[in-house]
Structures are given as C-alpha cells and as structure tokens.
Structure 1
Amino acid sequence: MAEIFVNKNIELALPHLNKLRFAVLELGSCNATRNVLFPDAVCKFDLVRVERPDEELKHDVRSLIVNFSSLFRPGIDFLTACQNTSSDNIAELDAHKKEALSLLNNYFLNLDLHEESLNKVIGKEKKKNDEADIKQTETDFTIAVAEHLLGKLAPSQSYLIDSRGKEENRCKCGCEVLPSYGNTGIGHEEVWHGHADIIFSPHHPENQSIGKCFPSLSSTSDQENTAVKRPHLHVDENMEYTDRKTNAEVKRIATGTSEEAIAQNIVFSLLQKQQYPNSPNCMVPSILISPDYFQILLYDAENDVLLCSNFIDLFNVNADGHLSSEAVVTLWCVLHYRIFCCGLQFENMDEANIYKSNFSRLAQEKWHIYSNCLKNCVNEFPVVDNTAKVELWNRKVLQGTEFCRGMKRRK
C-alpha cells in the first residue's frame, strides 16, 4: 500500500469545521401516513428554541443548535491525531479509518482533475425554458457530482444513481465514464416513498447514505417558520446556543430546506435502523447539493431527532473554480458517518425530549410500516388505490344482497 499521510489541505480545513452548525427541527404537520411520493411530501417544520438556564437570563430564548465538532468529534480527533504522527503509525491504524484517510488524500492529490471535470459540467448549468433541457442538465450534474466528488469520497468509492431513463447517460465532462446505475427506490407504497438521486456505498449497506441534487439551493422559502420554545434542563457539549448574530442565520438555515429531502432522510434513516437494529449510531445523513452549495440533514431514528445544517459553500468564495477544502473534508466525514459520527448523547429522557422532532407521533397511524416494513432497492412501487377496499366491500355487500334473496336467516 502507498504511503498514507495527511494532505496539507486537510490541515488547513480542520480549524474551519467548527463553523458548521445544525439547527434542531420539530415537525408541525406532515402527510407521512399517506401513500405519496417524496416530491409530494408535506413536511412543515419549526425551529426548536430553549430558555437559558440562568435565572437572570431565563427569558433569553435562543435557537437550539448542535455543532459539527460535537457530532463528528471522532472524525476531527482522528484527523488531528494523524497530523502529529508518522506515516508508519498511520499504517498501523484501524483498517476502515486508514482506508478512509487514503481516499481523502487521493482526492486532494487529484484535486485539479476533479475541479476541471466539475467546472466543465457546472459551466453548462444554464436556466432554460425547455423543461426537457433542465431535466437533462440536472442529470448531467448528478453524474458529475457522483463521479468526481461524492463518489470518490464515499466508502469503497461506490455509488448508485437512479437508473430510470438514464442508463445510457455518460459523464459530460469529457471523461465519458458510464456511471453506476441501479434501483434506488426506498420507502413503502402505503406511506412516503420514491427514488433517491444517489445512494452511496451500495456494496456496504451498513454504511449507506443518500444524496439529493438540485439545480440550485436557496436560503429563502415560502414557508414561514416559527420557533418551538422548550424549557432548558441541562447543558452539555452537544447543546449550544446561537448568539444574536447567528440566531437569524440559523432561521435562514431551516427556511430553505427541501421538504422532499427531509422526507427522504427520515425514511432512509428508519430503513437503516430497520436493517441494522444493533448499530451503535442511528443518526444517518443525507446530502443536498447544488452547483454552489450543499446542506446536510441528519435524522436519528432511535431518538427521533432531526438536524439541518447551514448552507455550505462548495467552492472557495475568493478562488473561482476551486473546491473548498473545508467542504471536501466535511463531505468526507459525513459519507463515513459510521466511523466518524458519534451522534447525540443524552443523560436522560427529559433531555432527549427537548430534541425530538415528533415524527414518530405524527406517523403513529402507520408507525408499524416505518419501523418494520420499509423497502430498499425498489425499481417501481406498486400503485395503492385507497378507494379499492371501500369499492370491494360495497361490491360484496351488493352481491351478497342479490345472492341472499329468498333465503331465511339462520336462528
């Protein structure tokens, strides 16, 4: 195996990872108990805010946030430790961590090539009036992101792109690579269901995560979010407050979040928990990415916690066409969440309740499906007709009435 080391870009990125924050969201209403596709998902959410514990500041209510450095402490500690050790010591590390570090180093070694490929495709991202052209452009971007960014950073560098109608599409950067296509359907036809744009690490199901590609991401939305005020019980390293400057920023974080992506993230996290019930960390991510920004959603299926990151620049603001080192390291940590994310640790149920999204309560009517019957790798979901049972019952009643004429009731 080639010598493993910590690339200089990684060292430069590490101090900036503390800037990444996650807002804690609560769902106010949703259509999770209906048989709807992800694009039709209704998922109205609010920010969770807490009161300060100090008596003199108890009326000072701020948005509840979770720092990236708390959730991904194992990953940050690992990279920090690798900066201060020899390549011989790195070679003796855990095989999974060593493989992950090798992927990150190799990506930075080939950074110019990947930047060139992405820029060629993103440069063609023009808003067109023709809907077919827009769909084609979104497909091109999805392929480029999978082949030249996220797929290269994911465990085993493996991914699957939704295959429906795209099997012949190749990467348009000039490499002409035919990407990996497959069935990316997740969910259940009686509840939320549909197809993820990308599933990462398909050959290692326990490490899977999903991606959603957008032609653009915006921090504005028609949805007006209010904040859910909750009492504050305890302060630990996971629970942080926004200061007044960032309080408005956190609100902007949430307002641009896709309801479709939230539904996908919740379903996929519940699917992972269903398939791997003994996993020590049930907080599963999904990545929302556009040519300019990306955003991370995290849903903890064990504790019913929904987190949403701020918008993160994909490229350097002052260096046109160059990927942000912080963005690359952040995406790498998220894609390797099974080894680099520790999740949230609660001291008691009262503390855990502060963070709850209340999805399990809203989906209670169909909770048996979400907890036991979700499907994976589906090509096409069967159509569910909600009126079928009623019509069938009426038909049997009418047939029975006709059939029973002239008969006597048994005593």
Structure 2
Amino acid sequence: MAGRENSQSGETLNKSIVLALPHLDKVKFAVLEIINCNATQSVSFPDAFCKYEIDLVKLEREELKHEVRSLNVNFSTLFKTGFDFIDKCRGMNREDIEELNRNERKAITTLDEYFQNIGVHEQSLNKVFGMEKEKKSQSNSHSKTAITVALVEHLLGKLAPGQSFIINDGSNNKENCKCGCDVAPNYGSTGIGHEVVWHGHADIIFSSHHEENECIAKCESSLSSDESQQETTPYLSLKRRRIDGIEEDSPGEKLMTEVKGHTAGTSEQAIAQAIVFSLLQKQRHPNFQNHMIPNILISPDFFQIILYDAEHDILLCSNFIDLFNVNNEGRLSSEAVLTLWLVLHYRIFCKGFVFEEPTEVEIFKSNFQELVKEKWNIYTNCLKKSVPGFPVVDNGISIDTWNRKVLQGTEYCKGMKKRKLHVNF
C-alpha cells in the first residue's frame, strides 16, 4: 500500500502533514485541580487515587459578564513552536531541509518518512488489533503486550526522537510483534518514582538522541464509553455542566469521565505517572527550557495527552482523539499522527506556559504540591529511574520512619522520638 501523496513532486513535505495541521485546533486541554490523592503514601501506580475538578473561570468581558466556563488551553498555543515550524516547512525541497538544525531536520524527516510508509503500518496495526478483538470475543481477554508492541513498533516508536524506546520488561509475555514482521522490541526496566510515595513501571519510555528519557506512554486494550459506570468513577462529568444556571460545553467529545480503561483507575494511573515522570525529569534536568512533560494514554481506538508542568504545578488533560479515521475504517488519522509526533518531540515544539505576572500562575495550579507537602522533598530530590523493582513500605510508619532516617540526630528527630510512630492516612 503506497504512502499518502505529496502535494507537488518538487516538495519534500508530505501533503497529508500540511492538510492535517488546521484540524489540530480542535485539540484542547482542560486545566485540572487535584482535590484528593494518595500520593503521600507508598502506592504503586495501579492503586493510585487522584480525584480532581475542572478549573472554572469567570469571564470579564462586559458582554459575557457573569458567565463561568471551564478553563481550557489550546494545543496550538502550547505547541505554537511546532505549528510555526510546519508552516515554515511548507514547500521546502531537500536542500532546504538540509539547512535546518540537526534536531529539526531529524524530526521532520521522521514524520515525512512515516507518511511515506503509512500504509504498511496501517496494515500491521489493523492485523494485530483485529486478532486481539477476535480473541476478546472468544475468551473475553485482550493481550495488552501484543497491543503495546504493535503501537510502539508501527506508530509511536516510528515517530519518536531517534526512534528509541524501552517497553516494560515486567510483562509475563515478552512478545515479538504479532503483525508478521516478528520484530523483537527493546524490553527493559521502566520503574520510576520512589517506594515511599507513588511509584511503579511505565509501559513505555521514549528516549532522545542523547539517551535522555523524554516521554512516557500508557497503553490499554480498550478505552470505551461506559455511561453506567460513571457514578463509581471519582471524576466530574464534563459533557455539560450547569453552574448558576449556565451550561458549559466540555473541551471535547470523549473526555476522561466517559472513558473506562481495561482496568479501574486507568486514568488515575496515567495522571500519577505523568506527575512523577515530570518531577523526575525536573530533578535530573533542572535546566530544561520548560518542564511541561507529556504522558500518552493510548488504545487501539483513542488516545489522550496528559501534561504536567513540574515547575509551575500545572496539570492538563486533553480531549480524547480518534486514532483512526471515523469514516474510513482502517486508515490512521493524519491529525492523530501529527499530534503524536508533536507531543513526542515536545522538547523542540512545546513552549510551555509563559506568565507575564507571577500571580497568573495561581489560576492554573493543580494543588499537587500543597497536597503532598510532607513528602515534597522526596518528589523533588529523591525520585528514581530505571528501577527493576521497588521494596515494600509499611504506610503505617512511613512518614516518621522515613524522616527519622533522613533527619537523624537533628532537634526535629529528637523531639519526634517521643511521639507515636503509627500514622493513619
């Protein structure tokens, strides 16, 4: 199957890239405020609890006075550098591409080559996803590993910087790709966090050209709408909300409250992983231009981008985006491919937040730092990476025991010896 055509034979950039760009305006991020979580306890990601609310803002323009709307951020605003870069690349020939800096040249070449071979990857993805759907109908069981490997080998990994990645080696079945290419993926240790707080293994960690961990992804067998389970999910309904008599649309058609993962708490795990990985990156690379780090929550049908800014304590969550064209079954959405490429190359293309006044950031804060202030030192200085396994910690004595080890001999610790060790959460 041939790749998507170029607009003119003299142009290097694939036509599908240019045509997809305007449609990315529909991708928006809701600003989340965390109300309650168990991030101060020794909790692995599958057991992470993170209840949030959508930030609301009153409009100050006279004609819209008294209206209250959800606080949203456009994808095109956060990734304006990437949007401008694609516009700059319109009509470029190969000589022009060679004049770009090394990272930009590699990035645009990676994207263009993917579109040239997109038909092959569509066939591979459809084959694996079709096999897994058939298995589910027969035994009510999906192979998450098979889906993860297919998504990495024929989509995410092909778009990532340097096409470098590690898949969690904790899987019971370290499978090769099931599409027929039989590629053996790169399995390894993806443990992040710390055993006295949130910790666990990311499904995938993508690396940069310089072997720095760049981005993570969480794969699920399915992310499907299930209205009947909403009451048991600790999320607000985002379809339409009525506040003081005013209804407000949500930022997208399928949002986190509508979407149930393969296991309960999928979205909570993704949020916890995004926060931990962003804080880990800030700890390891404090001189990054910004610390808005993504986690990609993806299934064979949809994906969602979760961003956490460790510098400003800002948590963003996108609307769900269709992976395949709705009216052209089996064809990957060009908008989805372009969105994933921009996110995976966020170090080049995401400019993050720029605040003119220090007080502006308070509107966007997620409240995570305040909720975990007793463990903030661990989140900012002690997080680990590439951990094969984490030791078990008793939550009943985790605070005092940990502080005693860190602060042994200080006046604080001497006074603490007189207190009871047991702490209830």
Structure 2 length-normalised TM: 0.82
Match of 1:346? Answer: 355
Residue equivalent to 1:315 = 324
Structure with the greater alpha carbon radius of gyration: 1
The 1-side partners of 2:19 and 2:358 are apart by 39
> How far apart are 1:345 and its partner, in Å?
1.0
Matched, 1:51 2:53: no
1:44-100 deviations in whole A, cap 9, x for unaligned? 010001000124533100011000100001111101111043332221011100000
Deviation at 1:206, TM superposition (A): 3.8
What 5-or-longer segments of structure 1 have no aligned partner?
Answer: 228-243, 394-411
**2:382 and 2:284 mapped to 1: Cα distance?**
10
Which residue number in structure 1 is paired with residue 242 of structure 2? none
Is 1:34 the counterpart of 2:34 in the alignment? no
Query: 1:214 aligned to 2:227?
Result: no
| 1:109-188 equivalence runs, <5 A | 109-126=116-133, 127=136, 133-134=141-142, 137-166=143-172, 168-188=174-194
Query: Comparing 267-276 with 343-352, which one deviates more in the overlay?
Result: 343-352
Asked if the contact 2:293–2:309 (Cα under 8 Å) also holds between the matched residues in 1, the reply is yes
Instruction: Give the counterpart of 1:297 among 300, 306, 315.
Output: 306
RMSD across aligned C-alpha pairs, in angstroms?
2.3
The percentage of counterpart residues that share the same residue type is 57
Match of 2:109 in 1: 102
Instruction: Name the counterpart of 2:27.
Output: 20
Letter in 1 for 2:157: G
Q: Which amino acid aligns with 1:248?
A: S
How many residues are treated as equivalent by the alignment?
371
- 1 CA distance for matches of 2:21 and 2:291? 25
SS at match of 2:43: coil
Partner of 1:248: 250
Where in structure 1 do 4 or more consecutive aligned residues deviate above 3 Å? 128-131, 165-168, 202-207, 218-221, 248-252, 386-391
Cα 1:218–1:353 change in 2 (3 A) is farther
Aligned in 2, Cα 1:256/1:286: closer, same or farther, shift over 3 Å?
farther
Query: How much has 1:129 moved relative to structure 2?
Result: 7.9
Shift of 1:224: 4.1
Q: 1:321 to 1:226 in 2, by over 3 A?
A: closer
SS in structure 2 opposite 1:319?
coil
| 1:290-310: CA deviation from partner (whole Å, max 9, x where unpaired) | 111000000000000000000
Range moving further from structure 2, 47-56 or 178-187: 47-56
Q: CA deviation at 1:27?
A: 0.2
Tell me the amino acid that sits aligned with residue 202 of structure 2: A
- Contact persistence 1:63–1:250 (CA under 8 A): no
Write the distance in 1 (CA, Å) between the matches of 2:137 and 2:313. Answer: 40
Structure 1 280/148 Cα, relative in aligned 2: closer, same or farther at 3 Å?
same
* Structure 2 gap segments, 5+ residues each: 1-9, 239-245, 260-266, 405-425
Partner residue, 2:409? none
Q: Which moved more, 1:75-84 or 1:294-303?
A: 75-84
Query: How far apart are the structure 2 equivalents of 1:163 and 1:76?
Result: 36
For 1:315 and 1:110, the matched residues in 2 are separated by 16
> The residue matched to 2:109 in structure 1 has which SS?
helix
Whether contact under 8 Å (1:219, 1:253) holds in the other structure is no
Q: Does 1:92 align with 2:99?
A: yes
Q: Bigger relative contact order, structure 1 or 2, given CA contacts below 8 A and separation 6+?
A: 1
Deviation at 1:251, TM superposition (A): 8.8
**Aligned partners of 1:52, 1:387: CA distance in 2, in Å?**
46
1:309 is aligned with what amino acid?
S
Alignment equivalent of 1:284, drawn from 260, 276, 293:
293
